Amino acid sequence: MRAYVYDDIPGDQRLPHDSGNPISLNTLGELGVIYKTIPIDEDKQWEKEIDVFAKERGYKNRDQITVTPEGLGESYETKIKSFFDEHLHEDEEIRYILGGSGYFDVRGLTGQYNERWIRISLEKGDLIVLPAGIYHRFTVDEGNTITAMRLFQDEPKWTPYSRSAADTDARPARSQYIDEVK
Ligand code: KMT
Ligand code: NI
């Protein structure tokens, strides 16, 4: 895992876009983002660790997603563009990377990071918890391959509320999030 301020230079979303300003775990924590590493080992101890973490936070369901040009065929480019559309969810989301790598970008909220994108580079064994109401987006990196476990508390509620399409600032999940982190 590595986190840094996104450079905001137009260009392929899959490039690093590293502005050269690193972001600490502490700053991520202030945004309500939790990061953890659970190495994927041969004797599958990681599965037990995921089970414990999921149980602690009241997660009951999970699935697995693989994003590759081979797997998605013609819809690949459309799919990765849709993941990259800034959005929020009404539930917390957990992602655990089983293979490949990619970037989650989250919006900074205060001070020098206000409205800046913070890019979090994730690879195999990395786990991230994004709080409900945080603006974010996702992309594969130049490797064009990621397999992730998506954990959800109850029903799979994947609904992304696109910031550009509606007044997402008015959603209860957004105001609760702002109250929690500010
Ligand atoms: C999200 O919330 O944008 C995603 O779940 C993207 C795919 S998970 C690697
Ligand atoms: Ni999302």
Q: Give the pLDDT of residue 159.
A: 83
Ligand 1 nearest-atom number relative to CA 89 = 2
Ligand 1 nearest-atom number relative to CA 146 = 9
Over 80: is that where the pLDDT of 123 sits? yes
Over 80: is that where the pLDDT of 158 sits? no
pLDDT class of 166 with cuts at 50, 70, 90: confident
Q: What is the homologous superfamily of the domain 2-7+16-181 according to CATH?
A: Jelly Rolls (2.60.120.10)
Q: Give the pLDDT of residue 153.
A: 84
3-class state of residue 84 by DSSP: coil
Q: Give the pLDDT of residue 140.
A: 98
Q: Which ligand has its closest atom nearest to the C-alpha of 151? A: 1
Q: Give the pLDDT of residue 29.
A: 97
Asked whether residue 89 is marked as a ligand-binding residue, the answer is: yes
Would the ipTM clear 0.90, i.e. be above it? yes
Cα(63) to ligand 1 centroid in Å equals: 12
Taken in order 48, 50, 53, 58, is the CA torsion positive or negative? Answer: negative
- Percent of the chain at pLDDT > 90 equals 90
Asked whether residue 17 is marked as a ligand-binding residue, the answer is: no
Over 70: is that where the pLDDT of 156 sits? no
- Percent of the chain at pLDDT > 70 equals 99
Greater confidence (105 vs 90) lies with: 105
CA distance 115 to 111: 9
Place of tokens 């202030």: 30
Query: So where are the chain's domains?
Result: 2-7+16-181
Ranges assigned E (strand) in 34-74: 34-37, 61-67
Atom 8 of ligand 1 has which residue's CA nearest to it? Answer: 148
**C-beta atoms surrounding 120 within 10 Å:** 22
CA distance 159 to 142: 26
For the segment 18-76, what is each residue's pLDDT rounded down to a tens digit?
999 999 999 999 999 999 999 999 999 999 999 999 999 999 899 999 999 999 999 99
Q: What is the mean pLDDT of residues 78-107?
A: 96
What's the farthest any 2 CA atoms get from each other in the chain?
47
CA-wise closest residue to 168 among 109, 81, 87 = 87
pLDDT class of 157 with cuts at 50, 70, 90: low
